[in-house]
Amino acid sequence: MINEKELRSMLYLLDDEDYRVVEQIEVEITAMGNEVIPFLEKIWPEEGNTGRQERIIELIKTIGQLSLANSFKSWLDTEEQDLLDGLLIINQIIEPNIDKQLIENQLDKIKLDAWLELNYDLTSFEKVKILNHIFFDVHKFKGDTEDYHHSKNSFISSVLERKKGNPISLAVIYSIVAQRLNIPIYGVNLPQHFVLGYVKEFDWFPLKNFNDESSLSDEAGSEIMFYINPFNNGLIFNHDNIHKFLKKLKLESKEDYFKACTNKSILLRILRNLEVSFGKENNEIKLEQVKKLLNVLIAED
């Protein structure tokens, strides 16, 4: 547990004339990890000394980047590359001490409400109709059309709390709930938009995670029956609609636009959105954290 009084005493030494003292203090504070970031973010605006204030800001950047980058690298090394785990790492940009159990509880509440309505003899369309009712009518999720580019629309904790988000954040929450109900709904990475695809029913369980090229092939069962747009209240559409959408954008109809994408692709797109959002918000500290995570993903590729 961090003692704020002791931390303030340490920070007071950041403008010491002896650079060795400053370096030692920085090493000790950095070693505290993500847990210290909320305290530093609280203290730095109150700091009257410009030199100390600049060093505190640099400490926030350094700690955040190191911690998140290491967590992201570990996530990439896992076989399953679990989508929720990846989202929670990104969420630490705004909540270093995010309560994973709280997020799990919120997702499980949506899942339970849907499960009580579902009958597994239902058709795929009937299942989606029930999911749409629970997601949009009961839990009141909707697209944020008023402040579309705001960073809060890209963080799962914020979207679950506000019940508003952008296309990809609404889609990932919808798909996580669906997959926990053994309903094969996965992300589809369209240009300038993000939707979901209902994959042809599998003959085996658990559901595929679609984390590698082999599981994305048609032979592995990734043929999509129809598409769902969570940003438009779960509107259902087909392949022809995607062709028309791409034609309107004057883009070639690539095969990848019609198939389920990897969890890594989803996180990459979320980070790209955050890069734009924090740029518009002039939040240099958070922007640097996002860029660090982007570099980790790009280096992996």
Task: Tokens 């590698």: give the residue.
Answer: 212
Tens-digit pLDDT profile for the chain (301 aa)?
Answer: 778 888 888 888 888 888 899 889 888 888 887 788 888 888 888 887 888 888 888 888 888 778 888 899 999 999 889 999 999 999 999 887 789 999 999 999 999 999 999 987 899 999 999 999 999 999 999 999 999 999 999 999 999 999 999 999 999 999 999 999 999 999 999 998 999 999 986 544 556 666 655 555 544 445 899 999 999 999 999 989 998 998 998 888 888 888 999 999 999 999 999 999 999 999 988 998 899 899 998 886 6
Same domain, 91 and 160: yes
- Binning the chain into helix, strand and coil, the percentages to the nearest 5 are 65, 5, 30
Give the domain-ending residue among 30, 58, 77: 77
Same domain, 59 and 109: no
Residue 210's domain comprises 83-300
135 CB-side CA count, 13 A: 29
Same domain, 64 and 90: no
pLDDT at 134: 98
Same domain, 46 and 99: no
Report the greatest alpha carbon distance in the chain: 74
Same domain, 89 and 51: no
Same domain, 44 and 186: no
How many CB atoms neighbour CB 70 within 10 A?
13
Give the domain-ending residue among 57, 77, 97: 77
Same domain, 196 and 64: no
How far apart are alpha carbons 254 and 251 in whole angstroms? 9
Same domain, 118 and 212: yes
Task: Give the count of domains, the chain.
Answer: 2
Could you tell me the pTM of the whole model? 0.81
Same domain, 27 and 133: no
Give the domain-ending residue among 59, 77, 95: 77
